[in-house]
């Protein structure tokens, strides 16, 4: 079990998905730092977690200048790994930033580190990239590791498979988080009951509160990268959100088709409504964020409900 009042470092922090999920799990931090270079994401992080010290570009972080760190979380860029990307692999310009995170972990040796990435990490370059990650971690020699491919639809109505990886510093913590088996309420207008999730079974909560309009046609549309079309019931499970503005899932509403609103996307990622609407910069000035940026940041974010469950188990 982790004690309270720990020191925390959030790399590639984005809009604070890891930080928010750990907060929801009950974590309390004595010192916080984060690394982010996108000005819109940083304005949101500063708004919600003003006590966190912004360290800027991860490549410029000097570990010796940091306090003792207990937990490091990160979701390094995945564009070189995912099916939608060009799959340059772990040594691509962006996905290669994984090694910057490992540079910091090697120097600091936190009690726990957690990272999240796309399913493609397991198969990138015929699986050699994931083996490379294991070798890189093994070179430190003091971490016991566990990982699992987790689908966000176990927690929210979004079909989003991501690998979550946890490193436990020898003797300070031990692998005990995975596999996830959770029970939650499945919500509908005429039915509320407890159901048990197993790894092979997914129940979803219906989309609620994202828009005030009634859905005359209860169909959710997702266009894939090859322009194939997938249809899902509106009270079912959305396909994964991505960072693109125009490739978000669409809803047939009355006689027109519309994309999911930013607020609906926030709910699909487990954030409160309007989380990404306005930020605050370092000068205290309010920053209005465009829908294009909101879609991008939400598509890049981690599903906070998954982080909350992982955090809850780490505190047991």
What's the CATH code of the domain at 12?
3.40.50.150
135-188 pLDDT tens trace: 999 999 889 999 999 999 999 999 999 999 999 998 667 778 999 865 444 333
Residue (of 256, 213, 259, 220) closest to 238 by Cα position = 220
State residue 85 phi and psi, 5-degree precision: -90, -170
Please calculate the CA angle 303-106-100 and round it to the nearest 5 degrees.
Answer: 60
Decide which of 187 and 289 is more confident: 289
Q: Measuring CA to CA, how many Å separate 135 from each of 58, 99, 101, 104, 175?
A: 22, 12, 15, 16, 18
Catalytic residue among 54, 78, 206, 265: 78
Decide which of 109 and 172 is more confident: 109
> What is the reported pLDDT for 37?
95
Average pLDDT estimate for 108-128: 90
Coil, strand or helix: which one is 196?
Answer: strand
* Strand 238-239 versus strand 158-159 pairing type: parallel
**pTM higher than the cut 0.85:** no
CA dihedral 146, 148, 154, 160 (to 10 degrees): 130
Quick one: pLDDT band at residue 129, thresholds 50, 70, 90? confident
Coil, strand or helix: which one is 224?
Answer: coil
Q: Measuring CA to CA, how many Å separate 122 from each of 83, 191, 225, 294?
A: 11, 38, 20, 28
Gap between the Cα atoms of 35 and 22, Å rounded: 17
Residue (of 179, 202, 185, 177) closest to 311 by Cα position = 177
User: Is 78 annotated in the active site?
Assistant: yes
Coil, strand or helix: which one is 314?
Answer: helix
Does 209 fall in a domain?
no
The sheet with strand 112-118 has its strands ordered as: 53-54, 29-34, 6-11, 71-74, 112-118, 161-169, 143-151
Range of the domain at 114: 1-190+217-315
Helices assigned H by DSSP within 139-254: none
Alpha-carbon radius of gyration of the chain: 19
Does 198 fall in a domain?
no
> What is the reported pLDDT for 8?
98
CB 56 within 8 A of CB 38: no
* Domains: count for the chain: 1
Does 196 fall in a domain?
no
Residue 298 above 90 pLDDT? Answer: yes
Residue 54 above 60 pLDDT? Answer: yes
Does 29 fall in a domain?
yes
Q: Extract the tokens encoding 27.
A: 């974590």
Gap between the Cα atoms of 210 and 220, Å rounded: 14
Please state whether the peptide bond connecting residue 179 to the residue before it is cis, i.e. omega within 30 degrees of 0: yes
The answer to whether the Cα torsion of 233, 237, 240, 241 is positive or negative is positive
Does 271 fall in a domain?
yes
How many CB atoms sit inside 10 A of residue 111's CB? 21
Q: Mean pLDDT across the chain, nearest whole number?
A: 79
Does 133 fall in a domain?
yes
Gap between the Cα atoms of 244 and 32, Å rounded: 30
Average pLDDT estimate for 179-202: 41
Gap between the Cα atoms of 81 and 132, Å rounded: 13
The rounded Cα 117 to chain-centroid distance in angstroms is 8
Does 263 fall in a domain?
yes
Q: Extract the tokens encoding 140.
A: 């430190």
228-258 pLDDT tens trace: 444 455 555 666 666 655 555 656 555 567 7
* Strand 71-74 versus strand 112-118 pairing type: parallel
Gap between the Cα atoms of 204 and 136, Å rounded: 37
Does 246 fall in a domain?
yes
The answer to whether the Cα torsion of 63, 67, 69, 75 is positive or negative is negative
Residue 211 above 70 pLDDT? Answer: no
> What is the reported pLDDT for 259?
84
Quick one: pLDDT band at residue 204, thresholds 50, 70, 90? very low
């Amino acid at each position: 079990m982790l004690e309270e009042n720990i020191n925390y470092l959030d790399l590639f922090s984005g809009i604070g998905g890891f930080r928010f999920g750990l907060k929801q799990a009950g974590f309390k931090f004595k010192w916080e730092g984060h690394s982010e270079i996108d000005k819109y994401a940083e304005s949101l992080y500063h708004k919600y977690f003003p006590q966190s010290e912004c360290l800027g570009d991860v490549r410029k972080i000097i570990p010796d200048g940091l306090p003792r760190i207990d937990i490091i979380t990160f979701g390094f860029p995945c564009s070189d790994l995912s099916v939608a990307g060009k799959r340059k692999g772990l040594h691509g310009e962006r996905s290669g930033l994984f090694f910057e995170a490992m540079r910091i972990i090697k120097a600091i040796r936190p009690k726990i580190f957690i990272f999240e990435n796309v399913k493609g990490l397991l198969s990138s370059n015929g699986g050699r990239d994931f083996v490379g990650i294991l070798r890189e971690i093994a070179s430190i020699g003091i971490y016991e590791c566990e990982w699992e491919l987790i689908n966000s639809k176990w927690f929210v109505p979004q079909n989003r498979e991501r690998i979550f990886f946890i490193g436990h510093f020898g003797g300070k913590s031990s692998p005990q988080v995975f596999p996830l088996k959770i029970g939650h309420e499945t919500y509908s207008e005429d039915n509320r009951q407890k159901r048990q999730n197993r790894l092979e079974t997914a129940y979803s909560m219906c989309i609620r509160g994202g828009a005030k309009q009634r859905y005359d046609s209860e169909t959710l549309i997702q266009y894939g990268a090859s322009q194939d079309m997938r249809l899902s019931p509106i009270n079912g499970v959305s396909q994964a959100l991505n960072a693109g503005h125009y490739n978000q899932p669409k809803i047939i509403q009355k006689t027109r088709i519309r994309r999911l609103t930013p607020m609906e996307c926030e709910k699909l990622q487990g954030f409160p409504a309007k989380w990404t609407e306005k930020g605050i910069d370092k000068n205290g000035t309010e920053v209005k964020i465009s829908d294009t940026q909101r879609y991008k940041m939400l598509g890049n974010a981690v599903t906070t409900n998954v982080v909350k469950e992982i955090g809850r188990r780490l505190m047991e």
